[in-house]
Chain A
Amino acid sequence: MVHDDKFPIAAQLFIRLKRSPGRVIDVTWMLENELYALEVLKVARGADAESAELAARYETLLRNRKPGATAAPQQPTAFARTSSFMAEPEPVPAEVGRHYVGSLR
Chain B
Amino acid sequence: MSNSTAFSRARFAALIACFAATSPALAQPSTVGFDQISAGDTAWMLSSTALVLLMTIPGLALFYAGMVRKKNVLGTALQSFAITALITVLWVVVGYSLAFTPGSAFIGSLDRFLLEGMVYLKSSSQLSVSHIAPTIPESVFVMFQLTFAIITPALITGAFAERMRFGSMMVFMALWSLLVYVPVAHWVWEPGGWLAAMGALDFAGGTVVHINAGAAGLVCAWMLGPRSNFGKDAFLPYNLALTLTGASLLWVGWFGFNAGSAVAADGRAGMAMLVTQVAAATAALVWMAVEWLTRSRVTLLGACSGAVAGLVAITPASGFVNVVGALSIGLAAGLFCFWGATGLKRLLRADDSLDVFGIHGIGGLVGAILTGVFADKAIGGVDSHLGVQALGAFATLIYSGVVSFLILLLIRSTMGLRVTPDQERGGVDLALHSEQII
- Chain A residues close to B by CB (< 8 Å): 1, 18, 22, 24, 26-28, 86, 89-90, 92, 96-105
Contacts and interface: CB of A to CB of B under 8 A. Distances in A.
A86 B232 contact: no
Contacts of B231: 101-102
A28 B426 contact: no
Contacts of A28: 438
Given A18-B434, A24-B430, A27-B438, A101 B233 contact: yes
Nearest to A99: B234
A37 to B, nearest CB: 15
Contact of A86 (B230, B341, B425, B438): B425
B342 interface: yes
Given A24-B430, A28-B438, A104 B353 contact: yes
Given A89-B234, A104-B301, 11 more contacts: A27-B438, A100-B234, A100-B236, A101-B235, A102-B346, A103-B342, A103-B345, A104-B341, A104-B354, A105-B341, A105-B342
A104 B67 contact: yes
B389 to A, nearest CB: 27
A90 B236 contact: yes
Given A86-B425, A86-B426, A98 B234 contact: yes
A12 B430 CA distance: 18
A102 B230 contact: yes
A97 B341 CA distance: 18
Nearest to B436: A24
Contacts of B354: 104
Q: Which of A90, A92, A99, A105 has the most CB of B within 10 A?
A: A105
Given A24-B430, A99-B234, A100-B235, A105 B302 contact: yes
B235 A104 contact: yes
Interface residues of B, number: 28
Nearest to B359: A105
A18 B433 CA distance: 11
Contacts of B234: 89, 92, 96-101
Contacts of A18: 434
Q: Which of B67, B236, B354 has the most CB of A within 10 A?
A: B236
Interface SS of A by simple majority: loop
Contacts of B355: 104-105
Interface SS of B by simple majority: loop
A89 to B, nearest CB: 5
Interface string B61-82: 0000001000000000000000
A104 B299 CA distance: 11
A89 B233 contact: yes
B305 interface: yes
Q: Which of A28, A92, A97, A104 has the most CB of B within 10 A?
A: A104
A85 to B, nearest CB: 9
A96 B342 contact: no
Contacts of A1: 438
A85 B233 CA distance: 15
B237 interface: yes
Q: Which of B231, B233, B342, B426 has the most CB of A within 10 A?
A: B233
Contacts of A89: 233-234
Contacts of B438: 1, 26-28
B146 to A, nearest CB: 30
A27 B437 CA distance: 10
B218 to A, nearest CB: 15
B301 A105 contact: yes
Interface string B205-245: 00000000000000000000000001111111100000000
Nearest to B297: A99
Contacts of A97: 234, 236
Contacts of A24: 430, 434, 436
A27 B342 CA distance: 39
Contacts of A92: 234, 236
B425 A105 contact: no
A97 B234 CA distance: 5
A97 B338 CA distance: 20
A30 B293 CA distance: 48
A49 to B, nearest CB: 23
26 contacts: A1-B438, A22-B434, A24-B434, A26-B438, A86-B425, A86-B426, A89-B233, A90-B236, A96-B234, A96-B236, A99-B234, A100-B237, A101-B235, A102-B231, A102-B346, A103-B341, A103-B346, A104-B237, A104-B301, A104-B341, A104-B354, A105-B301, A105-B302, A105-B305, A105-B341, A105-B358
Given A86-B425, A86-B426, A101 B434 contact: no
Contacts of A90: 236
A98 to B, nearest CB: 7
A28 B236 CA distance: 21
